[in-house]
C-alpha cells in the first residue's frame, strides 16, 4: 500500500512503546510508509514530570516544535494516525503535525 502513510506519536516514555509497535506492525504488514511524530524537546520519562509537562502543554493549547518536518503527504491517499491517549486527548505534538498539514491544505481528500 504505497499510497498509505502510517504517522504516529509514540513518545519516549516506555508505556507508549505499544503505539510504536502497533504503527510499525501496520506499516510492515501493509507496505505503508512510516513517520514518527517527535517533539524537538522530548517529554520526560519520569511519570510525574511527564504528566505535568503534558498538562502544561494541554492547558496552553501548545503546539510543540517537532524534531523534523512533517512529510509532504501529497502522494498518499490514506493516512493512518496513531497515538496514546494523553489526558483524554491526543498528545500536543500530534496537533502540531495535523495543523502543519492542514495549513498546507494537504489533508483535503485524504482518507
DSSP the chain: -TTEEEEE---SSGGGHHHHHHHHHHHHHHT-EEEE--BSSPPPSSHHHHHHHHHHHHHTT--PPBSSPPPP-TT-SEEEEE---BTTB--HHHHHHHHHHHHTTTTTT--
Q: In 3D, which of 108, 30, 37, 103 has the Cα closest to residue 66?
A: 37
- 108: which 3 cell numbers? 483535503
Q: How do residues 68-106 score in pLDDT, each as one tens digit?
A: 999 999 999 999 999 998 889 999 999 999 999 999 999
**What domains can you pick out in the chain, each with its CATH number?**
4-103 (3.40.50.360)
Phi, psi of 51 (to 5 degrees): -60, -45
Q: Higher model confidence: residue 12 or residue 72? A: 72
Q: How do residues 24-58 score in pLDDT, each as one tens digit?
A: 999 999 999 999 999 999 999 888 998 999 999 99
- 48: which 3 cell numbers? 510525574
Is the pLDDT confidence value at 12 over 90? Answer: no
Is the pLDDT confidence value at 14 over 70? Answer: no
Amino acid at each position: 500500500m504505497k499510497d498509505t502513510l502510517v504517522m504516529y506519536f509514540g513518545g519516549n516514555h516506555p508505556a507508549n512503546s505499544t503505539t510504536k509497535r502497533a504503527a510499525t506492525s501496520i506499516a510492515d504488514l501493509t507496505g505503508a510508509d512510516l513517520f514518527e511524530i517527535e517533539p524537538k524537546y522530548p517529554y520526560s520519562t519520569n511519570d510525574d514530570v511527564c504528566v505535568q509537562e503534558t498538562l502544561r502543554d494541554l492547558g496552553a493549547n501548545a503546539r510543540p516544535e517537532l524534531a523534523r518536518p512533517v512529510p509532504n503527504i501529497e502522494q498518499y491517499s490514506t493516512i493512518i494516525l496513531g497515538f496514546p491517549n494523553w489526558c483524554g486527548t491526543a498528545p500536543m505534538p500530534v496537533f502540531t503535525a495535523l495543523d502543519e498539514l492542514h495549513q498546507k491544505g494537504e489533508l483535503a481528500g485524504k482518507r
